[in-house]
Amino acid sequence: MKIGFFEMKSPLVLAPMAGITDLPFRKLCRRFGAGLAIAEMTSADPSLAGTRKSRWRLEYGDEPTPRVGQLVGNCPEQMAASARNLVQQGVDIVDINLGCPVKKLRQKRAGAYLLQDLEAIAKLFKTVVKAVPVPVTAKFRSGWDEATPVAVEVAQLAEDSGLAAITVHGRSAKTNYSAPAEYASIADVKQAVTIPVIANGDID
């Protein structure tokens, strides 16, 4: 699988997980065969940029390339500035988080919350892609709830905006992790776009 100008040696990807995918764990997973290992999400909120957690999440050290950093936020300009900062820190691919359903992000109208606003997602995608010279990807769920699936629409927005690849988590945001993941929505996305599609959810 090719993401932008990076040819992956393996199609297996370590998903970003808060409190888990730190630098040592990512390096270990890469050593044992992961084609990519995505860092924990970092907030695009500039007021959090100097916190200890944010600094830890920006450590890439001697991690193998391509290095992937993930951003979460709802302001296109802040996301663009944070994406540029990630590149300065040595990131080779910038990933946009539209999949995290936790209450803290819902309150900030970020993460999976944005699946309710396709216009905002389109602006976010285009602004970040324009801001950095590296491939941009995104991870998102099948929809905000089971009644409003938007995975295909978001995937098409991603491709039209110049994203290099996408990851689809086969659950709605409202189900959180309580229901088994389903893969029909991922298959629908795969048929709708030509960029690489990575399947996510209940894969271990």
Residues forming the active site: 100
Structure tokens at 79: 């996301």
Structure tokens at 137: 């990807």
How far is 52 from 138, CA to CA, in rounded Å?
25
Q: Would strands 2-3 and 6-7 be described as parallel, antiparallel, or unpaired?
A: antiparallel
Phi/psi for 167 (5° steps) reads: -120, 130
Q: Which of 54, 35, 169, 143 is nearest to 92 (CA)?
A: 35
How far is 152 from 132, CA to CA, in rounded Å?
25
